[in-house]
Every structure is written in structure tokens, then in C-alpha cells.
Amino acid sequence: MAELKYKDITEKIIGASFEVHKFLGNGFQEIIYQRALAWELSQAGLTFAREIEQEIFYKELTEPIGIRRADFVVAVKVLVELKAIVELEDVHMAQVLNYLKAYKLEVGLLINFGSKSLTFKRLVL
């Protein structure tokens, strides 16, 4: 079986997310989880950037058609998108895949703090 790309990083992110969910539970706004996760990622020794804006281009257009903002880019390798909703849907996974393309990254985590138990999806381009 092939080793998962950036497994060491994604395991630390997921562990930090479980720690946040264990302490806070569900029911808060996404920004609360984002701030708590930032602290946990720091405690885990991970470097990251929050709310990184990325211009979105279309075909040959030289001007961007919009800007997207990812919740975290960890170790300049893993995109992390947070949700605080009852259940993840296909549209949320599509969002992460689109972000991966826009940010030119290969591995993303979609993490949902809104359900009774923490849920997450690992997405790879």
C-alpha cells in the first residue's frame, strides 16, 4: 500500500482538530474553531498561514475573476478548509478540490466541527 502524501502533516492537523472538538464540542461558529485550531497547530509545531487570499483566473483572462480565501495552508503543503455544519456535502468537497487547483496544492483536508463527532475528508489532486 502506498504511503499517503504528507501523512505526517495531515495526522498532526487531524489530531489537533480532534483536540479542539473534544474541548469545544459542536455548536460554535466556524471562526471559533479556526482560532482554536490555530493555537493547536502552533502547539503541534506546525507552520501555517490563515485566510490566505488567492486570485481566481479564467482561461486567457489576465485579470482575476474573483478571490477565494482558504482557512489554512499548513507547512506550505496542505490546504485546510473548516466547516461548522451538521453534515458535509459533495459541494464542500468540490470547494476544497477547486481550492487545491487554485492554490496549486495536492493535498487538502475538509474538517467539520458542526456534527456531534468531528468529521473530516482527505482530498488529493
d(CA 11, CA 75) in angstroms, rounded, equals 13
In a domain, 2, yes or no: no
The set of residues, in sequence order, having a beta carbon less than 8 Å from that of 24 and lying 6+ positions away, is 32, 33, 36, 113
Domain hosting residue 119, numbered range: 7-124
In a domain, 100, yes or no: yes
58-76 tens-digit pLDDT: 888 889 888 889 999 999 9
**Whether the predicted pLDDT of 1 surpasses 70:** no
**Could you give the C-alpha distances from 119 to 46, 48, 104, 109, in angstroms and in order?**
21, 21, 25, 10
The pLDDT, as a whole number, for residue 54 is 84
**pLDDT (average), residues 93-102:** 92
In a domain, 37, yes or no: yes
19-49 tens-digit pLDDT: 999 999 999 999 999 999 999 999 999 999 9
The pLDDT, as a whole number, for residue 124 is 95
Percent of the chain with pLDDT over 70: 98
84: DSSP letter: -
In a domain, 65, yes or no: yes
Contact 106, 100 (CB under 8 A): yes
pTM of this structure? 0.90
Strands 78-83 and 107-112: parallel
In a domain, 1, yes or no: no
Output the CA torsion sign for 33, 19, 93, 102: positive
Instruction: State the pLDDT confidence band at 2, using cuts at 50, 70 and 90.
Output: low
In a domain, 97, yes or no: yes
The total number of structural domains in the chain stands at: 1
The contacts found for 24-28 with CB under 8 angstroms, 24 or more apart, are 24/113, 26/84, 26/113, 26/114, 26/115, 26/116, 27/114, 28/84, 28/113
In a domain, 40, yes or no: yes
- CATH classification of the domain holding 57: 3.40.1350
In a domain, 108, yes or no: yes
The pLDDT, as a whole number, for residue 56 is 85
